[in-house]
Amino acid sequence: MRIAQVSPLFEAVPPKLYGGIERVVHWLTEELVAMGHEVVLFASGDSTTSARLEPICERALRLDQSQEHWAAVYKRMVELVYRRRNEFDVLHFHIEHFSLLRFSRQEVPFLSTLHGRLYLKELIENMELSVESLGTLETAPLVSLSDSQRRPIPNLNWARTVPNGMPASLLMPRPVKPDYAAFLGRMAPEKGVERAIRIACKAGLKLKIAAKVDNKDKDYYDTVIKPLVRDNLNVEVIGEIDDLQKPDYLSGAHAVLFPIEWNEPFGLVMIESMACGTPVIAFDCGAVPEVIDNGITGFIVSDVDSAAAAVGRLQTLDRAVIRATFERRFTSQRMAQDYLKVYETLTQPIAWLGKCGGPVRAAVAGQ
């Protein structure tokens, strides 16, 4: 198949450090190329790919301070893809709602994976505007990362849920003795960094925090987290880490703490931990129950006390089983196969007739 992958532009593909969506786009693109498909990746010019790269901007927007109006860059990308749409059998967008109105008015099959939170007021309003303008969004098949992600807007044209996946060999268990609890992600309130510190202290564990500090979260880090770290000698902030550092870091943890305070659409950290055979102690929010098999790959808890208590049960979990569960459920090969089923269905004439009034949902939902 001739497939266009349209990536966000804030990070390169793959990202140098933090960047979940761009990382998933990279893994998916590489798997599709390995399967023999002809893939064009629309992304920032500093991306690296086995597909054909079509650079939209010279550098990732996060690194390019000259790009003051990022929305204008996205609108330009949508227009450039639109002009080339007939070169492809299917167009796959990863840029949230930006493509919906433009591409719902043309004939090339396309889908949009929504990677972010859907309960934001402005996103819901945009979706409602799309429905109002088009009469329906049946012409715009959507993919969710988890079933829970759909809850704020359940009645859109959800074609399928495709959980994220990563290469099976990217992160492997290391033969190291676990010595601490780990936190991996963003230094943000909704990620539960403060809760992770409280859990580790209550459980009597050392805690290592590998986290990115965005500009918008700097005040939170300076005023909330730094004092907690200063007052707890067993808590260490090691900063952002890359994929080369993750196997040792995750394998060396008794558990990864995932005490989120928001409805996470998926949570790559959980499957990164599972890939290293490391259990996850996670709060029951968002996609957590769809990713963690409670009592097998980790424990799903409700508060700091139950999370600390779960530390005492970690020895009941088998790290080999955790790794095997990752290989069965969360590889990028499985993810690519799931997406190919959606692509193949959308490119069947009978399915894509949904653009003329029949529902695409009925053709895809059974996959």
Query: CA 114, CA 136: separation in Å to the nearest integer?
Result: 18
Domain coordinates in residue numbering, the chain: 2-166+333-364, 180-329
197: burial class by Cβ within 10 Å (0-12, 13-18, 19+)?
buried
> What's the chain's Rg over C-alpha atoms?
21
Q: What angle do CA 11, 13, 14 make, to 5 degrees?
A: 100
Q: Which amino acid is present at 170?
A: L
At residue 363 the predicted structure's pLDDT band, cuts being 50, 70 and 90, is very low
- Do residues 220 and 246 make contact, with C-beta atoms less than 8 angstroms apart? no
pLDDT at res. 106: 82
Q: What angle do CA 24, 25, 29 make, to 5 degrees?
A: 120
Classify domain 180-329 by CATH architecture. Answer: 3-Layer(aba) Sandwich (3.40)
At residue 190 the predicted structure's pLDDT band, cuts being 50, 70 and 90, is very high
pLDDT at res. 118: 81
- Do residues 165 and 27 make contact, with C-beta atoms less than 8 angstroms apart? yes
The closest of 260, 296, 298 to 279, measured between CA atoms, is 298
Q: State pLDDT tens for residues 202-227.
A: 999 999 999 989 888 999 999 999 99
Contacts 24+ apart (CB under 8 A), 352-359: 352/107, 352/109, 354/138, 354/139, 355/107, 355/138, 355/139, 358/138, 359/138, 359/157
Query: CA 144, CA 154: separation in Å to the nearest integer?
Result: 11
Mean pLDDT of the chain: 89
Q: State pLDDT tens for residues 306-348.
A: 999 999 999 999 999 999 999 999 999 999 999 999 999 998 8
Q: Is the pLDDT of residue 96 over 90?
A: no
- Do residues 285 and 261 make contact, with C-beta atoms less than 8 angstroms apart? yes
Higher pLDDT pick, 27 / 357 = 27
Beta partners for residue 43, in sequence order = 55
Name residues whose C-beta falls within 8 Å of residue 153's C-beta, 6 or more positions apart in sequence. 118, 124, 127
The closest of 128, 12, 7, 29 to 332, measured between CA atoms, is 29
At residue 366 the predicted structure's pLDDT band, cuts being 50, 70 and 90, is very low
Query: CA 239, CA 36: separation in Å to the nearest integer?
Result: 38
Query: CA 41, CA 32: separation in Å to the nearest integer?
Result: 11
Query: CA 333, CA 330: separation in Å to the nearest integer?
Result: 8
- Beta-strand (E) ranges in the chain? 2-6, 38-43, 52-55, 90-93, 110-113, 142-144, 158-161, 180-186, 207-212, 235-237, 253-258, 280-283, 298-301
| Cα separation values, 268 from 24, 46, 150, 213, Å | 9, 23, 18, 18
| Cα separation values, 127 from 100, 116, 122, 137, 307, Å | 9, 14, 9, 9, 37
Residues of the chain with pLDDT > 90, as a percent, come to: 72
- Do residues 228 and 237 make contact, with C-beta atoms less than 8 angstroms apart? no
The answer to whether 2-166+333-364 and 180-329 have equal CATH topology is: yes
pLDDT at res. 133: 57
pLDDT at res. 266: 96
Mean pLDDT confidence for 159-167: 97
Q: State pLDDT tens for residues 258-293.
A: 999 999 999 999 999 999 999 999 999 999 999 999
Residues of the chain with pLDDT > 70, as a percent, come to: 88
Q: State pLDDT tens for residues 125-147.
A: 766 666 555 555 555 789 999 99
SS3 at position 186: strand
Classify domain 2-166+333-364 by CATH architecture. Answer: 3-Layer(aba) Sandwich (3.40)
Mean pLDDT confidence for 94-112: 85
Q: State pLDDT tens for residues 57-86.
A: 998 987 766 666 778 889 999 999 999 999
Mean pLDDT confidence for 41-45: 96
